[in-house]
Amino acid sequence: MIQVNENYSKLKASYLFADIAKRIKVFQTTYPHKPIIRLGIGDVTEPLPPVCIQALHEAVDEMASRETFRGYGPEQGYDFLREAIAKHDFQARGADISADEIFVSDGAKCDTGNIQELFGAKVKIAVPDPVYPVYVDTNVMAGRTGKNTNGRYAGLVYLDGTVENGFVPAPPKEPVDLIYLCFPNNPTGAVATKEQLTAWVAYARKNKALILFDAAYEAFIRTPGIPHSIFEIEGARECAIEFRSFSKTAGFTGTRCAFTVIPKDLVAYTKKGEKVPLHPMWTRRHTTKFNGVSYIVQRAAAAIYTKEGKRQVKKIIDFYLGNGKIIRKAFAKAGYDCIGGDNSPYVWVNVNGKKSWDFFDKLLHDAQVVITPGAGFGKDGEGFIRVSSFNSRENVEEAVKRIVKAL
Ligand code: MLT
């Protein structure tokens, strides 16, 4: 008799963004003539930077000739991309990361979800609340939690993100083994200072714990002095893995390319306390389960590291940050406190004591604007909404006009 993985029954019926998509569909079926503006899921709207388009065309042409055609590539990524990443994203910021510590993949969502298979079934996990749901749901699927009661899974250590701590929780008092951190944060848009990350690295080293650091939104950081990588912090090579993505940096949500950094110094432990390096384990996993990102897409990704590529990427991100400013201003004017939107594409709005799903429904029905209810990111997200800056200027201006009117 084939048995199911019963851990799935502990999950909410559908993934947050699938849930939202269903509600939108119902609304659209009922009111087909009311045009909706989407500031919900963080999906980019601007076209790929021209340097990427040019690199894609050239790579496609290479595939048309026997001499330059490529079949399977290295699972971890082509050297030209890994070297560009190591040099421009890390070494240029004083972070000691080499090309062979970078694993190119098709998405940070997949990598943050897959990485947990390297760890024991009983590791103690700390997650911030609110949090990107993938970190929690994938551990639920793997059986590392108990049931969900009142919005929280038994067995997890939740780190409360609050207005008081600026949505940057401090390390817990108790020891944990695995810690998920995301900065700039999804959903709150908060960023962590060097001092705050230094405290996390010190905690992880003291407790022989591992930090899974999601830096998918680092390209939005504009405040000087805010670290773009956990590896800018001394000692992080011994206690952290970092996830990055071209999705939000260069508009690759549909094109798919990302990478994970696993330093060679990094170890986890057997039950007996023997050290096991994680780099060879992830190499084994990646080469067994993944056949690499396509050559043409890796060429497109590498193009953003040229001088012109960097200029074009900055221009697009500045554009989204401009949208963020408009959204923040509109909510502030309407009497709602917000954070984020300045070093991140997300604005996190306090909805003044209202329930976040009620606010979602109100904006959908009264303004035909889709946002993401904070409660979808955890218990502490109740009373907040997340508004995404990813859209055209015209749509953002129209959306805030409608929102202000509806409020
Ligand atoms: C989000 O809206 O939180 C993101 O688009 C989800 C993702 O990157 O997977």
* Separation between Cα atoms, residue 44 and residue 181, nearest integer Å: 23
If asked whether residues 292 and 336 sit together in one domain, one would say: no
Asked if the structure places residue 1 within a domain, the reply is no
* Separation between Cα atoms, residue 77 and residue 74, nearest integer Å: 5
Interval between CA 290 and ligand 1 midpoint (Å) = 22
Q: How many CB atoms lie within 10 A of CB 230?
A: 26
Question: Which pair of tokens denotes residue 392?
Answer: 């055209």
Contact between residue 366 and residue 406 where contact means Cβ atoms under 8 Å apart? yes
**Exposed e or buried b per residue across 245-283, where buried means at least 16 C-beta atoms within 10 angstroms of its C-beta:** bbbbbbbbbebbbbbbbbbeebbbeeeeeeeeebbebbb
Domain boundary among 255, 282, 305: 305
Q: Is the pLDDT of residue 315 over 80?
A: yes
**Exposed e or buried b per residue across 309-322, where buried means at least 16 C-beta atoms within 10 angstroms of its C-beta:** beebbeebbeebbe
Contact between residue 389 and residue 327 where contact means Cβ atoms under 8 Å apart? yes
If asked whether residues 99 and 223 sit together in one domain, one would say: yes
The secondary structure of residue 260, as a DSSP letter, is: E
Q: How many residues does the chain have?
A: 407
Interval between CA 132 and ligand 1 midpoint (Å) = 8
Q: Name, in order, each residue with C-beta under 8 angstroms of 120's C-beta and a sequence gap of 6 or more.
A: 271
Residue type, 365: H
- Among residues of the chain, what percentage have pLDDT more than 90? 98
* Separation between Cα atoms, residue 2 and residue 42, nearest integer Å: 38
If asked whether residues 347 and 386 sit together in one domain, one would say: yes
If asked whether residues 124 and 185 sit together in one domain, one would say: yes
Contact between residue 150 and residue 183 where contact means Cβ atoms under 8 Å apart? no
pLDDT at 40 (0 to 100): 95
Domain boundary among 249, 281, 305: 305
If asked whether residues 271 and 326 sit together in one domain, one would say: no
* Separation between Cα atoms, residue 289 and residue 117, nearest integer Å: 12
Asked if the structure places residue 208 within a domain, the reply is yes
If asked whether residues 374 and 259 sit together in one domain, one would say: no
If asked whether residues 120 and 250 sit together in one domain, one would say: yes
If asked whether residues 326 and 193 sit together in one domain, one would say: no
Asked if the structure places residue 2 within a domain, the reply is no
Domain boundary among 272, 305, 338: 305
If asked whether residues 203 and 108 sit together in one domain, one would say: yes
* Separation between Cα atoms, residue 197 and residue 233, nearest integer Å: 7
The conformational region for residue 19 under phi > 0 = left, psi -120 to 50 = alpha, else beta, is: alpha
Q: Is the pLDDT of residue 283 over 80?
A: yes
Q: Is the pLDDT of residue 14 over 80?
A: no
Convert the pLDDT of each residue in 61-110 to its tens digit. 999 999 999 999 999 999 999 999 999 999 999 999 999 999 999 999 99
Domain that holds residue 105: 54-305
If asked whether residues 264 and 124 sit together in one domain, one would say: yes
Question: Is the CB of 133 inside a 6 Å radius of any atom of ligand 1?
Answer: no
Interval between CA 42 and ligand 1 midpoint (Å) = 5
Asked if the structure places residue 368 within a domain, the reply is yes
Asked if the structure places residue 176 within a domain, the reply is yes
If asked whether residues 301 and 312 sit together in one domain, one would say: no
167 forms beta bridges with none
Interval between CA 137 and ligand 1 midpoint (Å) = 14
Convert the pLDDT of each residue in 32-66 to its tens digit. 999 999 999 999 999 999 999 999 999 999 999 99
Q: Indicate the top mutation candidate among 16, 17, 220, 370 to test ligand 1's pocket, ranked by most ligand atoms within 8 A of CB.
A: 17
Convert the pLDDT of each residue in 187-201 to its tens digit. 999 999 999 999 999
**pTM as predicted:** 0.97
Contact between residue 360 and residue 26 where contact means Cβ atoms under 8 Å apart? no
Q: Domain count of the chain?
A: 2
Question: Is the CB of 42 inside a 6 Å radius of any atom of ligand 1?
Answer: yes
Convert the pLDDT of each residue in 100-138 to its tens digit. 999 999 999 999 999 999 999 999 999 999 999 999 999
Torsion, Cα 379 383 389 392, to 10 degrees, reads: 120
Contact between residue 339 and residue 167 where contact means Cβ atoms under 8 Å apart? yes
Q: How many CB atoms lie within 10 A of CB 96?
A: 15
**Whose alpha carbon is nearest atom 4 of ligand 1?**
42
Can you give the C-alpha Rg of the chain in angstroms?
A: 21
Q: Indicate the top mutation candidate among 19, 132, 385 to test ligand 1's pocket, ranked by most ligand atoms within 8 A of CB.
A: 132
Closest CA to 325 of 225, 251, 222: 222
pLDDT at 88 (0 to 100): 98
Asked if the structure places residue 315 within a domain, the reply is yes
Contact between residue 209 and residue 174 where contact means Cβ atoms under 8 Å apart? no
Q: Strands 384-388, 372-373: parallel, antiparallel or unpaired by DSSP?
A: antiparallel
Interval between CA 376 and ligand 1 midpoint (Å) = 12
Q: Is the pLDDT of residue 19 over 90?
A: no
Query: Which CATH number goes with the domain that contains 374?
Result: 3.90.1150.10
Asked if the structure places residue 277 within a domain, the reply is yes
Query: Which CATH number goes with the domain that contains 174?
Result: 3.40.640.10
Interval between CA 271 and ligand 1 midpoint (Å) = 35
pLDDT at 12 (0 to 100): 83
Confidence of residue 15 (pLDDT cuts 50, 70, 90): confident
* Separation between Cα atoms, residue 355 and residue 7, nearest integer Å: 29
Question: Is the CB of 109 inside a 6 Å radius of any atom of ligand 1?
Answer: yes
Convert the pLDDT of each residue in 382-391 to its tens digit. 999 999 999 9
Write out the DSSP string of 250-275. Answer: HS-TTT--EEEE--TT-EEE-TT--E
User: In the chain, count of helices (H) and strands (E)?
Assistant: 12, 17
pLDDT at 198 (0 to 100): 98
If asked whether residues 201 and 282 sit together in one domain, one would say: yes
